[in-house]
Chains A and B, each alone.
Chain A
Amino acid sequence: EADIYQTPRYLVIGTGKKITLECSQTMGHDKMYWYQQDPGMELHLIHYSYGVNSTEKGDLSSESTVSRIRTEHFPLTLESARPSHTSQYLCASSESPGVADTQYFGPGTRLTVL
């Protein structure tokens, strides 16, 4: 059972609001990831981190930003939310080095921007 948590699970906000999606893991994993996923579709990597003070942009361009001040915590922030940001956001972590890049996922945050 993976111990990775995301809050909130659901968020409905108005355009222009600043939001932070929380992600925490208790497994001591160095690597953490943020994905964006539309319903029933593939996952797109938007940010990743290999450890404290390490953050990189993923394959899909995103207006969000991330930080990694503590190993267990990898929050994602949107400074000014827009309807185009409506999606499911999934956080994941993996060991380093680990078994064949296996990632453990949180339950996701479903964001709706009105």
Chain B
Amino acid sequence: TQLLEQSPQFLSIQEGENLTVYCNSSSVFSSLQWYRQEPGEGPVLLVTVVTGGEVKKLKRLTFQFGDARKDSSLHITAAQPGDTGLYLCAAGTSYGKLTFGQGTILTVHP
């Protein structure tokens, strides 16, 4: 059973379009992170959200943590080819360990 469900699994869009990636669970988390990973590299942290209802913005990226701290979303406005990559959500479990969603592969075509 997947603790964190990410959707969609694949997303292929044109430059300039908007998109939203979802991360859902039946469990409550104390925090949730979003990472972006490029091929052949390790994941790089984008944001950490800790408060239910929290919204964080990072340039064209908007992250939201659900009120009940069971879900999160990542919204990208006016996507660019440089946004292409694997987006992973992750939540803390016990003793600092993280469990990861299965990821969303985003491809932005010029």
Contacts and interface: CB of A to CB of B under 8 A. Distances in A.
A12 B50 CA distance: 41
Interface residues of A, number: 30
Nearest to A43: B100
B43 A100 contact: no
Contacts of A102: 33, 45, 48
Contacts, number: 65
Interface residues of B, number: 27
A42 B88 CA distance: 8
A65 B39 CA distance: 26
A90 B42 contact: yes
B13 to A, nearest CB: 17
Interface string B83-94: 000101010100
Interface of A: 6, 31, 33, 39-43, 45, 48, 50, 58-59, 90-92, 94, 96, 98-108, 110
